[in-house]
Structure formats: C-alpha cells, structure tokens
A and B are shown apart, each in its own frame.
Chain A
Amino acid sequence: MAESILGKLGFRRASGVDEAGWGRTLAVAVVAFIYFLPVLFIIFTAFKPQGDALLVPPTLSPTSLFGLIPDHFVFKPTLENFGSVFSRSMTPDGAPEATGFDRYFFNSIFIASASVLLALVIGTLAAFGFSRYPLKGNDTYLFIILTTRMLPAIVVIIPVILMFRVVGLSGSYLGIIMLYTAFNLAFTIWMMKSFFDELSPDVEDAARIDGSSGMRVFFKICLPQVIAGLAATFVFGLILTWNEFLFALLLSGPDTRTVPVAMNQAVSSGGRGTDWTLLAAIETLFLVPVFLVTFFLQNHLLRGVTFGTVKR
C-alpha cells in the first residue's frame, strides 16, 4: 500500500538513477557554496573570539586548510559565544547573569509547533469538508480564506492589538498561538484541499458502499494517502512561523517573547553597537531545528510547494 502511494505521488523518481554524473555535482557544489557563503559567514562568526568580529579584513576560516589560507584570514574557533547566549555579564565587570534565552527558545519551539499543528488539525478537517462536502458558496469561502493569507500582517494587526488589549490576551501564549494558527490556516486549507481533490474516489466510494462511516473513510482511507501533503504543509508553516517577526514584536510579552524578537533586542540594546558574535551564535542555534526538520522532510517539499497543482 505505502509503496504504491509513494510511487503514485512520484517520490520514487527523486531517488532513482543518477542521470547526471559527478561533473554536475561539482558544478552545482560551486554554485551552492557561493549561494551559501553569507550563511556560512554567520555560522563562522558564531565561533569567532569576540575581538575578531570587526577585524578589517575579516577573518574567514577556522582552519588554514594546510597553509592554503593566509594566516591573517584564520581565526581560532571558540564555543564561548554559545555560552553567552544563555548567560553573560551585562555590565563591563559584573558577574554572568542568565539572559533568559532558554525561555525564548522554549517559547519559539512551543508557539511555532503548537500553532502549526493546530492549524494542521483544524485545516485538514476543513480541507476535507471543502473537498468532499461542498457547501453553498464553497468558492467564495475559499477565496475569502485565501485573501486572509495574502494580506499584509500589518493590515490586521492594529485591530488585533486593540482587541487583545481589551481582552487581556496581549502577551499571552493563547493569543499569539491563535493568531499564528489563523495565519497558517489559509495556507493549510488550500494545500490540503488540493491534495484531497487529487485522490482517486474509487476506494472511498467502495468503502462507503460497504457501510464505512464518513469518519472511518477519512481516517482509514484519505488521511494515510495525504501524509506527504501533511509533511509539506508542516515544513512550510514551520519556516514561516518560526521566523515571524512583526506579530511577535507587537504582541508577545516578556514571558512569551520569541527568539527573533529577543534577537532584535539583544542586537539593538546596550548602546555598544551590534554584538556580532552573539547575534551569530543566537541565529546559528536558532537555525538548527528548522534546518533539521526541513532536511528530513525535504522530499515532500518539492510537491508541497506547488500546492499540489502538479499532476503526475
């Protein structure tokens, strides 16, 4: 079963025979490396000793690659910066204090995963409804839902701020999670609907004729076939929610602050200019979870990004 579904969705293709050889690998590696350089520089900066960050010319590599790179471009890697993400002295000669970043990392993980998963549950149900039990004015509902996705965040943010102030939801987990859920919902519904639309109705009809309830058809027949879609939707929602800045800046309180907001604060406060090594260390740590998730769900991304519009 699983094999045939994967084959039908075209995932086998990706792991097929190598069409182009190592020559292509080499060419693409050069391009990919150049494209990746700005990220690599951030990651390397995270390992630089504090004083090295603003050297001119900048130090570029943690090793001399057996003498290939001149000495003045080489820095001595250190893990110090990662420690000072979580605790450092705030005054020139004070004792190290906790910065609260462990809390912010927890907030980011909790808020992003909660809202993406919530949107996935609610959105998948709705997508199944839109796909299998069309309502009167189905297309109008779908259009309104898509419009909410296309809207600039700021357009809704003024009334949301006012609403949250009145209700006392500003700075709470519930408020920001619900808001992110709403913003992921539109995307989730459109994407999952296109996946449900593409399923062949034969098996479903057969199951219905055999007397399976609607719920059983959904859980036992439809859901297993759209797991790829769920994964793709999850990755996209995660990337967008993980890095969301504006809502978080305006609506999160001291306890619910997410990493991008805290990062912005750590960079812009203190009056000593940007602490480059610290910023780089935060970003490097912050990149790891979303990088890993994307890497492991990468095969589904290709299909997911098309909103399922590519017929195979």
Chain B
Amino acid sequence: MTAVSSTLPTPRFTTVVAHNWKLAIAVAVVVSAVSMAGLPAAVSFWVVGATAALVAAAFTVNAYRRHYFGALLVAPAIAVLFVMNIFPLLWSLGLSFFAYQANQQTIRFVGLGNYVRILTNDLAAHATWGALINTAMFVVFTVSAQMIVGFLLAILFAKQFPLRKYLLILVLTPMMLSVVASGVFFTYYYDPTFGILSYVINSISGNQFILMSNKVGAVAGIVFADAWMWSPFVMLLVLAGLVSVPKYLYEAAAIDRISSWRQFWMITFPYIRGLLMLALLFRTIEAFKLADLVILLTKGGNDTLTISYHLIRIANEQNKTSEGAAISYLMLFMVIVLTNLYLYLANRRTQGA
C-alpha cells in the first residue's frame, strides 16, 4: 500500500502554483528574516508562524495532488509535536551551551561548561550525583513494590466473580486521585501529632513515633504513597495478560495433574512475561520522573531530593536556566537509553510470541 505514483510534473521554481513548495520555502525564509530583523519578537513570532503555515500548506497540496496519503495523515501530529516538544527540546539544547538566567538579560557562550559544572564542580556535582543516587533508589523501591502489589492484586481479580466490576473500580481509584490531594493527605496520615500511623504506633509502643524524622522513614513514606497510587496500573497490565491465557491450557494441565506451582511457571508466566516487562519499564520511566510526591511529603528534606525535583529547583526556583537545560539533557540521555531498552524488549517479545 505504498503511495500511488503520480504523473504530476514538478513545477518550475518561479511558477506560482499551490504545490510549489520550494518557492514557498524561499518566500518563508526571506519574510521570516525580514520580520525577525525589523519587528518586535511577539509580532515576528506570528509572522514566522504564518510563513510556516504557508510552507505547510504548499507541502499539503503537493502531497494531496501526488497522493502521498501517509504524509498527509501524519502531518498534523508531527506539526503539533514539533512546536510543543521537539522545538522546545532543540531550544533547551542550545541554551545548555550558554550561561543564561531567565531573570537576567545577559547571555554568554560557555560551550560544554554547564555539563562540566554539573558533573564535576564540587557543590553542583555533589547535588546532581546525590539526586541521581536517590532517584535510582526510589526507582528500585517503588517499582519493586508496585510490581509485587500489582501482581498480587491481578491474581485476585483474574477470575470472573460476582461484583468484580465494582470491586475493581475501588482498587483503581487511587490512580485517579490528584497527586496534590493524595500527597497532602499522606502528610496527614504520617503526621506525628494528628496522623493515624503515629497514633496507632504510639498506643502500641508508648513512645512518640515520627515517620519522617530520618531518611529511612521518609523514603519508606514516599515509596508507600507512590506504590499505593500506581500499583493499580501494574495490576491492569498483568490482568490483561492473565485473562489472555487460553482456558484449554489449564484444562489440559488439570488432566495431566500438574501442580499449581508448575502450572504457573509453565502456562501463566509465559503469557504475562512480556506484559510484566512492559509494566516494569513503564513504571521505571515514571519513577525516574518522581518529583511531586517528594515536594509534597518532604520538600527534599532528609536527603530525599530526586533528579526531577533537583531540576525544578535549579531551573525554576533558582532561575539557573541553562544549568537546568544541561541537567535536562543528562536526563534525556538516560530516558532515551531506557526507551530503547523498552522497545528492544517489546519487539523481542512480539517476535518471540
């Protein structure tokens, strides 16, 4: 189903027809350059936008007349992603090579200076590496907690039983809560004076119990809240795998009197292995971004600063825009590695299955 080849002749460069995209690009470049030189930034942005639209229109007409349907269908999505994601990314790549602060006017080229600074400078590098190590720790703890809880929940819901639909939605609700509300309410549950947790432990042990008083408690509190919110997501994935196992396999296993432990490893596990892998990687990437719960629960105290929150502080609170951009690219690199891993495993799975 490739594009139908067409006999539409390529127009001469100077001919004004709707599908002459080369001319449209030439016009756009000239007009953009003039407007950027002569008009204020806010106005010239829209002028540049209009010329970009002109080029896009020329491409569209060209693709339509030549029956390039694939390009036509994909174009709007690529345009939105380009403006809102890829262009900002390129911009911040550029910024990461400059010394620039959003609240000041000066801008100075420093090359790789920002990267060198965040990775080797005494203070900055210390914070970056500390945050990275904390992030890795949170990834390990939250993801393993979510995998275990999600898996157990999925096993509970795997079979059809009365009222299943209504009980399932109860378990899914934590995922739908706004993280602001659940985070703030977790500070209440953990509160040493009013909180339920301290109340229960105080009345058992008789000593004043403060969960957030040390790193172990603070990490445990954050991990628990995050695992509670996102285990249902893992559950949904595993559940989808569990219900896809054909029933006749279990029936055959029952006839052969295979123990339920072996049944799980021989029949069930191969069906959910790929989905477990997907859940693992998806949650890993999400846990890598963990910031909001940390902000709400500890504000980074007790050495719980994560790389995402570190970035928010640097870029937004301390206005070190270009240093933030450099950290962004450090993160982007790691995300690309993780994404590749994810795709590799996902592809291997579809080929193997």
- How far is B188's CA from A58's CA once the two chains are assembled, in angstroms? 11
Asked if B69 and A126 sit within 8 Å, CB to CB, the answer is: no
- How far is B233's CA from A150's CA once the two chains are assembled, in angstroms? 16
- How far is B197's CA from A58's CA once the two chains are assembled, in angstroms? 11
**Residues of chain B within 8 A of A28, CB atoms compared:** 156-157, 161, 164, 167
A312 within 8 A of B: yes
Asked if A126 and B331 sit within 8 Å, CB to CB, the answer is: no
Contact with A along B38-71 (1 / 0, CB 8 A): 0001100110000000000000000000001111
B17 within 8 A of A: no
User: In the assembled complex, how far is the CB of residue B170 from the closest CB belonging to chain A, in whole angstroms?
Assistant: 4
**Residues of chain B within 8 A of A309, CB atoms compared:** 274-275, 278, 346, 349-350
- How far is B71's CA from A244's CA once the two chains are assembled, in angstroms? 31
B180 within 8 A of A: yes
> Is chain A's binding surface mostly helix, strand, loop or mixed?
helix
Asked if A163 and B77 sit within 8 Å, CB to CB, the answer is: no
- How far is B181's CA from A264's CA once the two chains are assembled, in angstroms? 8
Specify the chain A residue showing the minimal Cβ separation from B339. Answer: A150
Contact with B along A45-68 (1 / 0, CB 8 A): 000000000101110000000000
Specify the chain A residue showing the minimal Cβ separation from B202. Answer: A56
User: In the assembled complex, how far is the CB of residue B11 from the closest CB belonging to chain A, in whole angstroms?
Assistant: 23
Chain A: number of interface residues, binned into ranges: 35 or more
User: In the assembled complex, how far is the CB of residue A56 from the closest CB belonging to chain B, in whole angstroms?
Assistant: 6
Asked if B70 and A135 sit within 8 Å, CB to CB, the answer is: yes
Asked if A152 and B3 sit within 8 Å, CB to CB, the answer is: no
User: In the assembled complex, how far is the CB of residue B209 from the closest CB belonging to chain A, in whole angstroms?
Assistant: 13
Asked if B3 and A133 sit within 8 Å, CB to CB, the answer is: yes
A254 within 8 A of B: no
**Residues of chain B within 8 A of A147, CB atoms compared:** 335-336, 339
A186 within 8 A of B: yes
**Residues of chain A within 8 A of B88, CB atoms compared:** 156, 158-160, 163
User: In the assembled complex, how far is the CB of residue B347 from the closest CB belonging to chain A, in whole angstroms?
Assistant: 10
Query: A154-B312, A166-B41 given as contacts; is B70 within 8 A of A133 (CB)?
Result: yes
Specify the chain A residue showing the minimal Cβ separation from B181. Answer: A283
- How far is B339's CA from A161's CA once the two chains are assembled, in angstroms? 26
> Is chain B's binding surface mostly helix, strand, loop or mixed?
helix
Query: A18-B162, A246-B292 given as contacts; is B81 within 8 A of A57 (CB)?
Result: no
Asked if A158 and B178 sit within 8 Å, CB to CB, the answer is: no
Asked if A189 and B77 sit within 8 Å, CB to CB, the answer is: yes
**Residues of chain A within 8 A of B260, CB atoms compared:** none
Asked if A287 and B177 sit within 8 Å, CB to CB, the answer is: yes
- How far is B237's CA from A39's CA once the two chains are assembled, in angstroms? 22
Q: Can you give 24 A-B contacts (C-beta < 8 A)?
A: A14-B160, A16-B160, A25-B167, A39-B174, A42-B182, A126-B73, A129-B69, A133-B69, A144-B86, A145-B81, A152-B289, A155-B332, A158-B88, A162-B102, A183-B85, A214-B69, A245-B179, A287-B176, A301-B172, A305-B233, A305-B236, A305-B240, A306-B241, A312-B244
Contact residues of A with B, CB < 8 Å? 10, 13-14, 16-22, 24-25, 27-29, 31-33, 35-36, 38-39, 41-42, 54, 56-58, 122-123, 125-126, 128-130, 132-135, 141, 143-148, 150-163, 166-168, 178-179, 181-183, 185-186, 189, 214, 239, 242-243, 245-246, 250, 259-260, 263-264, 267, 274, 276, 279-280, 282-283, 286-287, 290-291, 294-295, 298, 301-303, 305-307, 309-312
Taking A28-B157, A160-B84 as given, write out 14 further A-B residue pairs in contact, using a Cβ cutoff of 8 Å, ordered by the A residue number: A25-B167, A57-B196, A122-B76, A128-B73, A129-B71, A135-B74, A152-B311, A152-B335, A153-B289, A158-B95, A298-B172, A307-B278, A309-B274, A311-B353
Contact residues of B with A, CB < 8 Å? 1-3, 41-42, 45-46, 68-74, 76-78, 80-81, 83-89, 91-92, 95, 102, 153, 156-157, 159-165, 167-182, 184-186, 188-189, 193-194, 196, 199, 228, 233, 236-237, 239-241, 243-244, 274-275, 278, 285, 288-289, 291-292, 308, 311-312, 315-316, 321, 324-325, 328-329, 331-332, 335-336, 338-339, 342-343, 346, 349-350, 353
